[in-house]
Amino acid sequence: MPIFLSLPDLARAGQDLDAYLALIARDMDLPASYGEALSRALQQGRAFVCLDSLDEVLPRLRAGIIRRVNELARLPGTAWIVGSRFTDYKGGQFQQGQFQEWELQTLDELRRQRLAAQLLPEIQRQLSNTPSSVHELDPRAYVRALSEHRQTATWGENPLLFSLAAVVYLRRGTLSGSRAMLYREVIEALLETREHDGSRREQLLLVLADVALELYQIKGRTFSAAELRATLTQLSREQRAIWSLEEMLYRVLNAGVLDVIGYETYSFRHQTFQEYLVAFALARRFMSEDEQARDAAMHLAWSKHTYSRWNEIERLLVGILVQEYGAAGVGQAHVWLERFFEQRKSLEGDPGNLSFELAIQALGEIVELDAWQVAEMLKVEEKAVAIWVQLVRKPSTTTRMGNKATLSFPRFGHCWQTPVASIA
């Protein structure tokens, strides 16, 4: 019988595995003795244990979880599989001789085309109002469009992101726009399959964003039905004005962005969905006319900006502000990026240059957007270059190109050109 074990939840529970299994059994309305049966199966080597979301375990608890898994894996007979994204994971943390480490390899060009050949017709069949020309169903055209788009060039290496981009491509016939916009269109495509009314679909998106933000802070990607209900209950009356609590719960569970992974246990279909929705919720609060809500959102975002699990959210936040809120959003993004740059001048400084690196990554989301291409905003990029030169101070960092100097940021996937005079 498959039993879902959440590593983040196990870490937060602070219990040994036997006690946690008893808790799992109780939550599934099974006899209390069933928890003991699960424990015996582990002890007797009759279990095949799959543990996911190591990357979602709080950093301060992660070492303890790895140590406990290493200890449990010494039990003879039982097989253990642990899954993690690369976030804060370093090879060799699991006991040598007990574990073998495998890395999912990227898709090569031929496999991308083969996947696209099967994927595009199926997505088109499931989506309404998608183009149907031969060119748009040509897998080579899609793969080429993906590789030529700066924001999505690496998506071809990941089967899930490759599939998500295909949804946007079939809906629009193009992949133009920022990553934030691409994520939004993917989620809207999913919602459209469940909710055909545009205004209700927009309302559902707002609810999902608020739910994602609250749960990301307290639970992460995986949560119980009770936790979801409690989160919906505490949302403002304004957000659930058109639906009762029960109807809202039903719509969220059936929106297409959640997976059922156990008895009354749910998870966002992929972490990128939740990360985008969290960033979307924060961006709305950043642009709120309610000063208290705005300040609270900025305080939350700033308090989390040095945590690796919030890195993607902070980047998408800047992209959403610029892409969806016009001149006011661009101004807010400008202020937010300046705060990252100014961190190094504060009393606490910028240890490890974390704020600066995040600012560079966020700039990579927006530098090619039309809304950002104005003279005042380009000064932000010049400031980034100037700080970079101060930090690196290596001749190999710059390459002379006429009257300009080109500085490459290999870790951030972008390259700026700015007059030498600006960085002197």
Q: Model confidence at 76, in pLDDT bands (50, 70, 90)?
A: confident
Q: What pLDDT score does 376 carry?
A: 63
Q: What pLDDT score does 277 carry?
A: 96
Q: Model confidence at 246, in pLDDT bands (50, 70, 90)?
A: confident
Judge whether residue 395 has pLDDT over 50: no
What percentage of residues in the chain have a pLDDT greater than 90? 21
Please tell me which residue, 357 or 92, carries the higher pLDDT value: 357
Question: What pLDDT digit, counting tens, does each position of 256-283 carry?
Answer: 899 877 667 888 988 888 999 999 999 9
Q: What pLDDT score does 412 carry?
A: 41
Q: Model confidence at 133, in pLDDT bands (50, 70, 90)?
A: very low
Question: What pLDDT digit, counting tens, does each position of 370-382 carry?
Answer: 777 765 666 777 7
Give, rounded to a whole angstrom, the gap between the first and last alpha carbons of the chain: 66
Please tell me which residue, 412 or 184, carries the higher pLDDT value: 184
| Structural contact between residues 385 and 423, judged by C-beta atoms closer than 8 angstroms | yes
Q: Model confidence at 239, in pLDDT bands (50, 70, 90)?
A: low
* Residue positions counted in the chain: 424
Question: What pLDDT digit, counting tens, does each position of 80-125 carry?
Answer: 888 887 655 667 788 877 888 888 777 888 999 999 999 999 888 8
Neighbouring CB atoms inside 10 A of 290's CB total 10
Distances (CA, A) of 119 to 123, 139, 165, 319, 323: 6, 9, 11, 28, 29
Q: What pLDDT score does 313 carry?
A: 95
Q: Look up tokens 């642990």; give the residue.
A: 82
Q: What pLDDT score does 205 carry?
A: 93
What average pLDDT does range 114-140 have in this prediction? 74
Judge whether residue 153 has pLDDT over 80: no
DSSP structure string for 191-256: HHTT---HHHHHHHHHHHHHHHHHHHHHT-SEEEHHHHHHHHHHS-TTTTSSS-HHHHHHHHHTSS
What average pLDDT does range 344-361 have in this prediction? 86
Please tell me which residue, 424 or 39, carries the higher pLDDT value: 39
Which residue type occupies 117? A
Question: What pLDDT digit, counting tens, does each position of 27-42 carry?
Answer: 777 787 888 888 888 8
Q: Model confidence at 299, in pLDDT bands (50, 70, 90)?
A: very high
Q: What pLDDT score does 400 carry?
A: 35
Please tell me which residue, 150 or 190, carries the higher pLDDT value: 190
What average pLDDT does range 299-324 have in this prediction? 92
Q: What pLDDT score does 414 carry?
A: 43
Q: Model confidence at 328, in pLDDT bands (50, 70, 90)?
A: very high
**Among positive and negative, which fits the CA dihedral 265, 271, 273, 275?**
positive
Please tell me which residue, 412 or 260, carries the higher pLDDT value: 260
What average pLDDT does range 397-408 have in this prediction? 39
Q: What pLDDT score does 49 carry?
A: 86
Q: What pLDDT score does 372 carry?
A: 76
Whole-prediction pTM = 0.71
